Chain A
Amino acid sequence: EAGVAQSPRYKIIEKRQSVAFWCNPISGHATLYWYQQILGQGPKLLIQFQNNGVVDDSQLPKDRFSAERLKGVDSTLKIQPAKLEDSAVYLCASSSGSSSYNEQFFGPGTRLTVL
C-alpha cells in the first residue's frame, strides 16, 4: 500500500514570496490533515478536511495561508506572502476516519526555509 505522498521535499524562498505544497493521501482515506512542525516542537494542526469539506481550520493563519482539497483526494497548501517564522516542516497526514481515535499516517513532509 502506497503511503502519503508530498512534494516538494525541500523549498527555500525569500520572505514575501509565495509557496505551495502538494499532498496525495493514502487511497480511500477521506480525512486529510496539514500540520506545521517547527524545529524542536510537536506537529501543530493547521487544517483538517473530511472529503472536500473543512472540518477544522481554527489554527490556520488565514491572512496568509490557504488550503484546498477540491476533488476530495489531493490537497494543496499555500502560503502568500511567506514570513521568516513560517520556516518549518509541513506535514500532511491522512486517516480512514474522521475521529481522533483513528490512526494518522504521515507523509515525509516538506521542509520550508524562508530567508
Chain B
Amino acid sequence: GQQVMQIPQYQHVQEGEDFTTYCNSSTTLSNIQWYKQRPGGHPVFLIQLVKSGEVKKQKRLTFQFGEAKKNSSLHITATQTTDVGTYFCARGSGNTGKLIFGQGTTLQVKP
C-alpha cells in the first residue's frame, strides 16, 4: 500500500561513528520528507527530496532519493550527541497535504 518502512528501528553508536537509516516503499514516491524528533520534542522538518537520484547535504547529514523513487536514505557522518533523536521519513499521498510517516529510526549516541 502507501506505507513506508524504515530500518533499523533502533541504532546505538559510539560518538564519531557514522549512522544510516533507510526508508523503503513498494510504490513510487512523488516526494519524501525527513523529520527529526528529539526525545520529548516534536517533529522538525529537515529536508525534502523530489527528483530521482537526488542527493542533498546539510553539514554532516546526507539525504538520498533512489533512482526508482522507491527508497531514500539519511546518512550522518561522525555522529555527535546532538544527533540523538528519532528520524522519520514521510511520503506525500495524493493531491492533498497528507503525509504518511514511517515508524522512525531512533538513534542513541554514546559519548
Chain A residues near B (Cβ < 8 Å): 31, 33, 40-45, 48, 55-56, 91, 93, 95, 97-109
Q: For residue A100, which residue of chain B has the nearest CB?
A: B92
Q: Which residues of chain B from 81 to 108 have any CB-CB distance to chain A below 8 Å in the complex?
A: 88, 90-104
**Cβ contact within 8 Å between A100 and B30:** yes
**Cβ contact within 8 Å between B48 and A101:** yes
How many chain B residues sit at the interface, stated as a range, is 20 to 34
**Cβ contact within 8 Å between B42 and A98:** no
Instruction: Please report whether the interface of chain A is mostly helix, strand, loop or mixed according to DSSP.
Output: loop
How many A-B contacts are there with CB distance less than 8 Å? Answer: 67
Interface centre among B95, B101, B102 (most CB of A within 10 A): B101
What chain A residues lie within 8 Å of B43 (beta carbons)? 43, 91, 93, 104, 106
Q: Tell me the smallest distance from the CB of A49 to a CB of chain B, in Å.
A: 10
A45-B45 contact, Cβ under 8 Å, with A100-B31, A100-B93 = no
Q: For residue B43, which residue of chain A has the nearest CB?
A: A106
What chain B residues lie within 8 Å of A55 (beta carbons)? 96-97
Q: For residue B31, which residue of chain A has the nearest CB?
A: A101
Q: For residue A49, which residue of chain B has the nearest CB?
A: B97
A105-B45 contact, Cβ under 8 Å, with A42-B88, A97-B97, A98-B96 = yes
**Cβ contact within 8 Å between A106 and B31:** no
